[in-house]
Amino acid sequence: MPRPLVAITDISAMRFNLALARTMMPGARVWAVVKADAYGHGLGNAFKAFEHADGLSLVELNRAIMLRELGWQKPLMMMEGMFSFDEVDTFQRYQLQPVIHNQVQLDMLQHASGAPLHVHLKVNSGMNRLGFAPAEVQQANQRLQAMPVVSGISLLTHFANAENPSASLTPQRQLQRFTDCTEGITAELSLSNSAAVLLQSQIKCDWIRPGVMLYGGTPGAATAQSFGLKPAMTLQSELISVQQLQPGDSVGYGSVFTADKAMRIGIVACGYADGYPRHALTGTPILVNGVRTRVLGRVSMDMLSVDLSEVFDAEIGSKVILWGDGLPIDEVAAAAGTIGYELMCAVAPRVRRETRED
């Protein structure tokens, strides 16, 4: 009998969420974002679930090669492009489409020969992370146009605040900058991340780039459930011990929780070495036998404690849902001061994996 902790990826939910993204942006093609091992859901699972996506988008070269070896024949976009000249050859061999976001990458392509590549010219419209400044865009485009190794150019930019209507850098401001500096360039546009797909349907583009929504997480603003998204990951375990506390007894390292009444607590086989956030405080929601209760005290490396005061039938072996079915990952994340994205991506390699598909 293995340790009871398991992360279950629901391939049907991922498929469903992709279909939902399409209905929200009719006519747009979809780059399904699968970086970081498909946000922790397993690249092989994403390969199956997103077979109807128009392209997959990621940053890791070895994972792009893996997708080709699995049989993915549609476009692959490399969102950070090449990191060195040596990689150009691999991009050509596997027909990977680099995002070109700086002058160094332009120089790499300038010196390349061989099989032509489709490239994505990234515009920094205000995010100030990757991309050419508006004043550089026309020249970068002209350079790319003149390169024999470039067979086609698309344009992209990334929104900083599509989920936050009160931000001063709105998607509309970014879009205006983008439109102004790309004037006269005829190219396909890739703009919307999950937040823009879900909340900025007035933004039209040829390609959308949803990530977190495909996995049933919210980019913010409202719950994933309210958008009709289905959770694609359930982190599940069991109680491996039950303790009876008396008033004044404390729980775990640092004794940060002290009982003020007699109560039963359960010990769950899941800790921070599994990717559960150590900064989850007393009160973080968790399900035991389907009953919503709370984490108590400090999360330790392999275990955490839960309140069983209201879970009368709980015993060793009772099922625990840390997030997923019946408990949105974003609620757990919020209680731990983070976002669902981080929790999905952080499930540790030692956690057993299963998939579900109906």
Ligand X SMILES: Cc1ncc(COP(=O)(O)O)c(C=O)c1O
Q: Which residues bind ligand X (CB under 6 A)?
A: 33, 79, 158, 193-195, 209-213, 219
* Pair 9, 353: CB distance under 8 Å: yes
Q: Which is nearer to ligand X, 193 or 237 (CB)?
A: 193
C-alpha neighbours within 13 Å on the C-beta side of residue 294: 11
Q: Please, what is the minimum distance in Å from the beta carbon of residue 114 to ligand X?
A: 27
Q: Please, what is the minimum distance in Å from the beta carbon of residue 11 to ligand X?
A: 18
Q: Please, what is the minimum distance in Å from the beta carbon of residue 159 to ligand X?
A: 9
Distance CA 132, CA 10 (A): 38
Q: Please, what is the minimum distance in Å from the beta carbon of residue 122 to ligand X?
A: 8
Q: Which is nearer to ligand X, 299 or 347 (CB)?
A: 347
Q: Which is nearer to ligand X, 56 or 212 (CB)?
A: 212
Q: Which is nearer to ligand X, 42 or 266 (CB)?
A: 42
Tell which residue, 33, 24, 123, has the closest CA to residue 341.
33
Q: Which is nearer to ligand X, 33 or 263 (CB)?
A: 33
| Structure-token pair, residue 14 | 């991922």
Please confirm, yes or no, whether 48 is among the known catalytic residues.
no
Q: Which is nearer to ligand X, 194 or 237 (CB)?
A: 194
Q: Please, what is the minimum distance in Å from the beta carbon of residue 79 to ligand X?
A: 5
Q: Please, what is the minimum distance in Å from the beta carbon of residue 165 to ligand X?
A: 16
Query: Given 35, 39, 276, 341, which residue is catalytic?
Result: 35
* Pair 200, 24: CB distance under 8 Å: no
Burial 273-295 (b: 16+ CB within 10 A, else e): ebbbbeebbeebbbbbbeeebbb
Torsion on CA atoms 60, 61, 65, 66, rounded to nearest 10: -30
DSSP state of 130: S
| Structure-token pair, residue 84 | 């060195």
3-class state of residue 257 by DSSP:
strand
Number of neighbouring beta carbons within 10 Å of residue 74 = 13
Tell which residue, 236, 290, 291, 296, has the closest CA to residue 266.
296
| Structure-token pair, residue 8 | 């279950």
Q: Please, what is the minimum distance in Å from the beta carbon of residue 39 to ligand X?
A: 7
* Pair 242, 267: CB distance under 8 Å: yes
Tell which residue, 257, 273, 281, 294, has the closest CA to residue 338.
281
Q: Which is nearer to ligand X, 5 or 197 (CB)?
A: 197
Where is 235: in which H helix or E strand? strand 233-245
Please confirm, yes or no, whether 35 is among the known catalytic residues.
yes
Looking at beta carbons, which residue is closest to ligand X?
Answer: 211
3-class state of residue 166 by DSSP:
coil
Distance CA 84, CA 105 (A): 8
Query: Given 122, 204, 230, 253, which residue is catalytic?
Result: 253
Catalytic residues: 35, 253
